[in-house]
Amino acid sequence: MATIDLVRHAEPDITIHDDFLRPLTSAGQRQTQQLVDSLHQYPYTAFFSSPLKRAVDTITPIADDHGLPVQKNELLVERKMPAWLPNFSDYVNQQWQDLTFFEKPGESIHQVQERYLSFLYGLPSSAFVAVGSHGTAISSLVEAAIPGIGYHFFSKLGYAAVTRIEMHAGNMVHLAVWEPKSKTFKVLK
């Protein structure tokens, strides 16, 4: 059974509108250090990341703590947006109401879901990996596993949150979220 810990990037500096270069805030850097401490105990075999700076900067200290490199993968990029949107919330709501909706040159939540699933299907069955990821991408996988809850999950997903997916024979068989207070994973499915 493959185990994948999807690590949402820590708090980004949203004053930087370049999606590829947006760094973490100082609070985000502290969140990353908390992740290092929380995830130290897990026997990861590999680390992957979206190539976006905020995801790489979140996962790299965890990988360093495990003595492993971070492998950037284009399949793991966040949902592509048509541009920087001042009405971001309205656009997001419309996308979650219709998983196929997007404005060019962006992409739909369904397209993000398919991209991420293709990455997951390519992992060996014995993998235990951590992935530097993004809120919409993680929530799209939750939607695939438990239809109808993706938007609610997205609206509650905090920065530096960890969502664990266990895959068996090409299916998401378990889904859990990291609970920092109890330092355990809470099962969703």
Q: Average model confidence (pLDDT) for the chain?
A: 96
Confidence check: pLDDT of 85 > 90: no
- 136, exposed or middle or buried, with CB in 10 Å at 0-12, 13-18, 19+? buried
Q: pLDDT per residue over 13-59, tens digit each?
A: 999 988 899 999 999 999 999 999 999 999 999 999 999 999 999 99
Alpha-helical segments (H) within the chain: 26-39, 53-65, 88-97, 109-121, 135-145, 150-156
Q: pLDDT per residue over 102-119, tens digit each?
A: 999 999 999 999 999 999
What is the mean predicted confidence (pLDDT) over 64-93?
93
Q: pLDDT per residue over 87-103, tens digit each?
A: 889 999 999 999 999 99
Residues β-bridged to residue 46: 129
| Cβ(171)–Cβ(188) below 8 Å | no
Phi (first) and psi of residue 183, to 5 degrees:
55, 40
List, in order of start, the domains of the chain with CATH numbers.
1-185 (3.40.50.1240)
Confidence check: pLDDT of 79 > 90: yes
